[in-house]
Structure 1
Amino acid sequence: MTSEADGQSIVSRFLRRQRSLSGRLVFVAAIWSVLSLAVAGFILVELYKSASERSFDAQLDVYVKLILAEIVPDPAAGNDAGISAPENLDDPRFSLPLSGWYWTVAKADGTTVLFASSSLVGDPLSVPPLGDQESQSTFSVGPGSEEIRVVQKRIGIAGQDYVIIVAAKTAGFRADIREFAQQVILTLVVFGAGLVGAVFLQVRIGLRPLARLRSSLGEVRRGEAEELDEDLPVELAPLAVELNALIHSNREIVERSRTHVGNLAHGLKTPLSVITNEARTETGPFADKVSEQAAVMSTQIQHHLERARMAAQRRVIGVSCEVEPVLGRLVRAMSKIYRERDVGLADAPPAGLHFRGEQQDLEELTGNLLDNACKWARSSVSVNVSLLQSGETARELFQIVVEDDGPGLSESECREAVKRGKRLDETVPGTGLGLSIVADLAGLYGGYLELDRSNLGGLRARLVLPSV
């Protein structure tokens, strides 16, 4: 029970680690094939062994009958005549000393051996007792400690019971079985390898439509196609149709969300602008408080509308953009705006790297980080892009690291900096929404933003995003 449970545990652990469907199918088929062929091979060898034993026993039984025919007394000699010694068995092996072929004739009580073959050269033939049985076929140990096959038969002659015993060494018999077993193993190994190969081809060919579906889905995710290819087998075609319907429905929902966000922006910003303008025409504590709260409301509205717009764009299926052109344009723009700063890419982004999302979102993410770094940097800003490996989620991720040589932030200030509307220095222009928008948008895309100390002495902003 323990070994069986251990075997099941090993198979279960392998299947949990094996993420490939074809790998699972081939592994299970291979295990089943090996077990089935092993059982089949064992059964074949046992059947051959049983057949060989019956054939061997039949051969020995022929000599038992020949001996019986030789020892039966001649009826013409009278009923009181005793048995006579066998004279001719037509097999010289019974005459050669220790040839491995032997016979004896003894009384049924086993106390007296009446006749024995010359091959025994006087050695006794040790065999299991016959008991109450009329005949028996067993294995025993003969002269020279060789294994022998023994056939015994009880006969009654003239009122006296005798036992005829014929034995032969099993070396040739065992050699035939071993040779047959080797041939069976070789044949089943070749057959098993061919069977596993055939299963592998069957799985590869049978799952090829799934590979096509995966490739088609990848094209949609990369923005290279508008919908999935529906030219698939009847089992998969309905899935492709439903996915295409989901994609179209998703786009319609996103468009409606964008329209609602735009309408809400116009509906709120215009009355708020009127309130702010009216407050500016007045003086006094009340007007100041209205202006202050209107500014707070404007900041909150801007943040939540921007977040809603991002969330709507995040749900678009099949949207992607190349990273290198976006970063290149932003670096060049920041270099012109902040001429006194040295803004540059430490290394060129990996060739063909695509962000799984809207181009304008990538521009806003990296633009906010670059703008924040340029505001606080003393002389230089460095940007680095590299791929990441995620063993837990198996997603493709990349990181954008922006570093500056400014004053930097402490751990507590890093936590405060990503809170919406939080400005750590009121002397620098801005709304305080830049880093919070980056953190929120990165989270919507399944990424994140980390802030810590840079090797340049200032702030190090590490932005992790999904790639295609």
Structure 2
Amino acid sequence: MTSETGEGADLQPSRNPQRSLAARLVFVAALWSTLALALAGVFLVSLYQRASERAFDAQLEIHIKALVAQMLETGPGADGTVSVLTAPAYRGDPRFSLPLSGWYWTVRRAGSQDILYSSESLLGDPLDAPPIGDADISAGFVAGPTGDEVRILQRQISVEDTPYVIAVAAATAGFWADIAEFARLVALTLCIVGLGLILAIFLQVRVGLRPLSRLRASLSAVRRGEAERIDEALPREIAPLAVELNALILSNREIVERARTHVGNLAHGLKTPLSVISNEARSAGGPLAEKVSEQAAIMSTQIQHHLERARMAAQRRVIGVSCETEPVLARLIRAMGKIYHDKGVSVGFDQAAPIRFRGESQDLEEMSGNLIDNACKWAASKVAVAVAPFNDPATNREMFTITVEDDGPGLTPEQRAEAVKRGKRLDETVPGTGLGLSIVADLAALYGGSLELDRSAMGGLKARLILPSLGRE
């Protein structure tokens, strides 16, 4: 069965929902915060390493000065004083006396690797000191006698116009251990700070976007029919949005009211002249009168159909209307039980969970009433009505079905296709205009639903009405 596309199609949720605004804000802020803290951590560790190197070099410089003081002896000369280089016995730190302790010093002539004097800790092993070049002082990292890394500081001095290079080296194991410990503490601290920042950002976003949640809840209340206006007591950034939405709702209601008024005026304006024409034709008699009466009846049927569709379309565009299905259907079933009591038809009803129809109760009553009344007309003794939730896989919308079955003669597939056509009556012996199922199908289509006819397991006709439900927010 082909159904018209109604406004309900506009209410379909997106099949590809985008990431929430709050998630985007938190993600971007967390990403930049993490990057900034990581760069800050690298910068802090680098600063600490440079400061540690300067402190380490300052300690080595003290030992160099002490060595120079021990090696140089001064005495009288022709021009005042002279400096004489002597063998130092420097033990400013006990580690210089311990074999391969990691603390070493050497004295050599500039430009030569031949060592003149060295600390006892070297045990005669060479200290691989890089060339100092033209600089007076240099520092760097080299391999010590045991292969372990040492920090070496070299200073060049001149004694009697002879340049000498004094080198002091110390193992860097403790140096790098201190830096690693500092880096660990910095990383731990920045991780805690980062988590705190992300939490603060999350709370800030939640609090900052709370007015949007209030706006959504207020709009949902209007859509559910629990309120007539959106609350405009919102921050000034989004308060104009609430004002415009309220203006839109008011405009919608005014348009609906004008449409209903025009439909009513048209109905009164057309029905009275048609009634006069029909009455005059019946009283006149003759072939012409019969033809006029026949065409007037067709015109009346067409007007009734199109006026009904116009009324349904106007009502479908009312914002904020919904109703519970159970009270409406229970009331209809009680009424049908009384109407068809003499025929002996029993109407059963089954609805397991509460379901709310996204539309007006009058429309739900008209659609389901037509189906139940039609089933009672043709049933032999039993009619079953069932309501169940339904999720449309094509649109991923929350829907529900009203299934009406009877144990009557049923319809062939061809008859089921004809039954929903406007004004089509399959049996002229049963009273009616032939508009019932057509109106049901048209009204269901306006709500984004549909009407399906099939054979019932009870032997008769099975009508399945699919309508939108008001899902949980």
What TM-score does the superposition give when structure 2 sets the normalisation length? 0.84
How many angstroms does 1:378 deviate by?
4.2
Q: What's 1:462 paired with?
A: 465
Given that 1:349 and 1:384 are in contact with CA atoms closer than 8 Å, whether structure 2 keeps it comes out as: no
**Counterpart residue number, 2:348:** 344
Does the 8 A contact of 2:83 with 2:159 survive in 1? Answer: no
- Judge conservation of contact 1:66–1:89 (CA < 8 Å) in 2: no
Cα–Cα, structure 1 residues 150 and 258, in superposed 2: closer, same or farther, change >3 Å?
Answer: same
Q: Aligned ranges for residues 302-381 of structure 1 at < 5 Å? A: 302-339=304-341, 340-350=344-354, 353-381=355-383
- In structure 2, the gaps of 5 or more residues are 1-15
What amino acid is aligned across from residue 341 of structure 1 in structure 2?
V
Q: Is the 8 A contact 1:279 1:291 kept in 2?
A: yes
Asked if 1:47 corresponds to 2:47, the answer is yes
Q: Cα–Cα, structure 1 residues 153 and 427, in superposed 2: closer, same or farther, change >3 Å?
A: farther
Answer yes or no: is the 8 Å Cα contact 2:352–2:388 preserved in 1: no
How far does the alpha carbon of each residue in 1:112-166 deviate from its partner, in whole angstroms, 9 at most, with x for none? Answer: 1222222222332234444455433222322333222222333443343333322
For residue 227 of structure 2, what is the amino acid of its counterpart? Answer: A
Alpha carbons of 1:119 and 1:269: their partners in 2 closer, same or farther (altered >3 Å)?
same
Look up the match of 1:5: none
Structure 1: gaps of 5 or more residues: 1-15
Q: How many Å apart are 1:363 and its aligned residue?
A: 0.5
Greater displacement, 238-247 / 452-461: 452-461
2:22 corresponds in structure 1 to 22
C-alpha change, 1:455 and 1:200, in structure 2 (3 Å) is farther
Per the alignment, residue 68 of structure 1 pairs with 68
- Asked whether the 8 Å contact 1:453–1:459 carries over to 2, the reply is yes
Q: Aligned in 2, Cα 1:292/1:194: closer, same or farther, shift over 3 Å? A: same
- Per mean C-alpha deviation after superposition, the further-off stretch among 100-109 and 453-462 is 453-462
Distance 2:180 2:393 in 1: 50
- Give, in whole Å, the separation in 1 of the partners of 2:77 and 2:392: 103
Identify the match of residue 301 of structure 2 among 299, 302, 313.
299
The amino acid across from 1:48 in the alignment is Y
User: Which gives a bigger RCO, structure 1 or 2 (Cα 8 Å, sep 6+)?
Assistant: 2
CA distance in 1, matches of 2:163, 2:221: 93
Letter in 2 for 1:74: T
Shift in Å at residue 399 of structure 1? 3.0
SS in 2 for 1:346: strand
**Post-superposition shift, 1:425?**
4.6
Query: Following the alignment from structure 1 to structure 2, what is the Cα–Cα distance between the partners of residues 413 and 110?
Result: 114
- Structure 2 distance, partners of 1:297, 1:128, is 112
1:357 deviates by 1.9
Distance 1:214 1:319 in 2: 17
Higher alpha-carbon deviation: 274-283 or 243-252: 274-283
Q: Residue 86 of structure 1 aligns with which residue?
A: 88
For 2:319, what is the secondary structure of its paired residue? Answer: coil
331-340 vs 72-81, which moves further: 72-81
Going from structure 1 to structure 2, the CA distance change for 1:185 and 1:111 (only over 3 Å counts) comes to closer
Correspondence 1:19-418 to 2 at 5 A: 19-72=19-72, 74=74, 76=76, 83-281=85-283, 286-339=288-341, 340-350=344-354, 353-389=355-391, 396-406=398-408, 408=410, 414-418=416-420
Matches within 5 A, 1:417-432: 417-432=419-434
RMSD of equivalent CA atoms: 3.0
What is the number of equivalent residue pairs in this alignment?
Answer: 451
> SS of the residue aligned with 1:207?
helix
Residues 151, 200 of structure 1: alpha-carbon distance in 2 compared, 3 angstrom cutoff: same
Q: Deviations over 1:12-66 (max 9, x none)?
A: xxxx856543333333333332222222222222221222122222222322333
Please say if residues 74 and 82 of structure 2, whose CA atoms lie closer than 8 Å, have aligned partners that are also in contact: no
Indicate conservation of the 8 Å contact 2:447/2:467, yes or no. no
Please state whether the residue corresponding to 2:85 is helix, strand or coil. Answer: coil
1:234 counterpart SS class: coil
TM-score normalised per structure 1: 0.85
Cα-to-partner distance string for 1:260-310 (whole Å, 9 max, x where unaligned) = 000111112222233333444456655454444333322222121111111
Contact kept in structure 1, 2:323 and 2:358, CA below 8 Å: yes
Amino acid in the other structure paired with 2:255: I
SS of equivalent to 2:326:
helix
**Structure 1 residue 355, shift from structure 2 partner:** 2.1
1:89 Cα offset (Å)? 4.5
Is the CA contact (8 Å cut-off) linking 2:357 and 2:467 kept in structure 1?
A: no
Match of 1:153, SS state, is strand
2:389 and 2:401 in contact (8 A); partners too: yes
Q: Match of 1:467, as an amino acid?
A: L
SS in 1 for 2:351: coil
Task: Answer yes or no: is the 8 Å Cα contact 1:97–1:118 preserved in 2.
Answer: yes
